[in-house]
Amino acid sequence: MEIILAKSAGFCFGVKRAVDKAYEKAKNGNVYTFGPLIHNKVVTSELERLGVKCVEDYDVPKGSEVIIRSHGVPPKVYNEFEKRGVSLTDCTCPFVKKIHNIVHGEKEKGRNIIIIGSKEHPEVIGINGWCENTAVIIGSPEEARQAELKKGVPYSLVVQTTFRLKIFNEILGIIREKTDEPQVFNTICSATTDRQKEATQIAQTVDMMIVIGDEKSSNTRKLYEISTKYCENVQLCESIFNLNLQNVKKYDKIGITAGASTPPAIIKEAVSVMSDIDNKTFEEMIDDSMVSLHSGDVVKGKVISVNDNGEVTVDLGYKSDGIITRDNFSNDPGCNPADEVKPGDEIDVYVVRVNDTDGNVTLSKKRAEADKNYVVIEEAFNNGTTVRGKVSEVVKGGLIAYVNDARVFIPSSQISNRYVEDLTAFVGNEYDFEVLEYDRSKRRIVVGRKALAQKEIDEKKAEVFAKLHVGDKVKGTVSRIVEFGAFVDLGGVDGLIHISEMSWGRVRKVVDVLSVGDEVEVTVLDLNPEKGKISLSLKDPEKNPWNDAEEKYAVGTTVTGKVVRMVPFGAFVELEEGIDGLVHISQIAYKHVEKPEDELSIGQEITAKVTELDLTNKKVSLSIKDTLERPADEEDPDEVAAEETAEETEEA
């Protein structure tokens, strides 16, 4: 058997640079990548084990470090992380960065941008961001024919670095027919072109072609497509252990190539295994193929041992044993694997990596449990039913909870039906949630209880309104203070005490009377089930100062009080809490008074006589001058006015 390995197989410069930087940064802790660093589950799983987490949004703690992957990102990503105080390590491939600069520069010149590439590819999404997402994106000759391009419009054209040169030239020809000559920047990476040319050459000369890489990788898929054009027997596999080995030995010449996201170790491993196969019998190859494992599989295994570090060794019926590290055993940091499993126990495990540096299989028990529970969550999402979870921590923008051991995110706007300033009150509590967003491939689950909370409140309101009546005295707890009053929780439903109903006396500020958390007894003033409103009063009707006002403030009674307010027509005097009397400006003194402030001041104690009592409208009229002796030389302004009126009448 002859094995031909492509010289250009494996990591390109940009990918290698990003991966090396990620392993280096992993030592520092608190490191994230914005999106998967590369399209290779082996590498991303290993980085995750080392603590480098992948995020798809901006939800990382302040002070963290985020690695920008080689595909590059739009400008808004840099800006958003900078605003959040997050440090960035930019590992954008230099070839991709060059495209960003071209697109940005051409856009500033007033030219329209065309990107040839896949709309869904992260590299293309990133490039489009550098021209404010205005580019025309074309991924195939058919899309080029349908594109709305115009003559007389200045176009500048770039291309995805991993795009096939042949298809690029075909698309370019169609674009040139539909437009004036565009400014063309052929930005296909030379490494990509070399790799595809070499795959073409090797595929034409071998009996079997093996393409190693993740099927989600764009350049890996293109290598596979190219190989199938020139070779009848082509297999695409993530690693050599995913390969169907049963028919390998009948091929005399085998070619091996790999995508730009495939680590050198996996390629080396493939060549080694293929070389070993050449020395084995057909029966031995069949035996080796009996048990196959793939990253991402959930399989059953038997516990062999649990060591002092909490590592669990598992027999998988494979040529190598599986290892579950303590971190991969449970989401509970206090869990001790030795208390949970013992030798001989059969457990479900998730295959993280088929072959680590020591030849073992890396496993995860918590991922296996989460995968099973994802089914339950997916059913809830599809059927519109609820799931129950426990809130574990507060993060940027919301909360993290675990639903059947699956990690879910709760946006702060979805934890309650009202704004919540302090989210820590929810940590440690269990709630029912609706599944708002579910993407199993990205392991992204968003849940919320806003609608459920509103439903609970509506039910409680109906219950409370059914048993409450106007005039009832009820107890509650002050839940919220506002400028115009205080809301009181009556058992899941809030009623409002308006500031005017807090005391028989004058209340300037709500906080002078009540604080959040105070327990109060209130009287129900009004119920409005349609609007869900309850009006309450803190005033005790039995202590209403107007109850005996007829006796205390009978006309002719002399009273004392304090000036509390001035108006142009007189002064208001507080006789007691809840009862003010008005001294009209004409009743302040026997002499003519221009302004009440000329004779009186706020806070001044005065003596006055009650001249009128209106119990219906709760009004008391007072006179200070009636308590004074009229000066001999002072005319009563009221009497003077009356005499003048009489004289005018006689003359008329």
Enumerate the active-site residues.
123
| HEC letters along 110-173 | CCEEEEECCCCCHHHHHHHHCCCCCCEEECCHHHHHHCCCCCCCCEEEEECCCCCHHHHHHHHH
d(CA 578, CA 581): 10
d(CA 622, CA 611): 5
CA 289 to chain centre: 45
Q: What is the DSSP letter of 443?
A: T
Dihedral sign, Cα of residue 92, residue 95, residue 96, residue 97 = positive
Non-local (6+) Cβ contacts of 574 within 8 A are: 505, 506, 561, 562, 564, 580
Following CA atoms 160, 161, 167, 170 in sequence, which dihedral angle do they give, to the nearest 10 degrees?
70
To 10 degrees, what angle do helices 13-25 and 41-49 make? 20
What is the DSSP code string of 356-406? Answer: -TTSPEEEEHHHHHHHHHHHHHHHHHHHT-EEEEEEEEEETTEEEEEETTE
To 10 degrees, what angle do helices 190-203 and 218-230 make? 30
Strand 155-159: give its sheet, edge to edge.
Answer: 136-138, 112-116, 155-159, 183-184
Total Cβ atoms within 10 A of residue 447 = 27
Non-local (6+) Cβ contacts of 543 within 8 A are: 504
Alpha carbons within 13 angstroms on the beta-carbon side of residue 336 total 4
Q: Which backbone phi and psi does 564 adopt, to 5 degrees? A: -120, -20
Among the listed residues 575, 399, 420, 415, the one whose alpha carbon sits nearest the alpha carbon of residue 504 = 575
Contacts 24+ apart (CB under 8 A), 465-473: 465/493, 465/527, 465/529, 465/534, 468/524, 468/527, 468/534, 469/524, 469/527, 470/524, 470/525, 470/526, 470/527, 471/523, 471/524, 472/523, 472/524, 473/521, 473/522, 473/523, 473/524
Burial 31-62 (b: 16+ CB within 10 A, else e): bbbbbbbbbbbbbbbbbbbeebebeeebebee
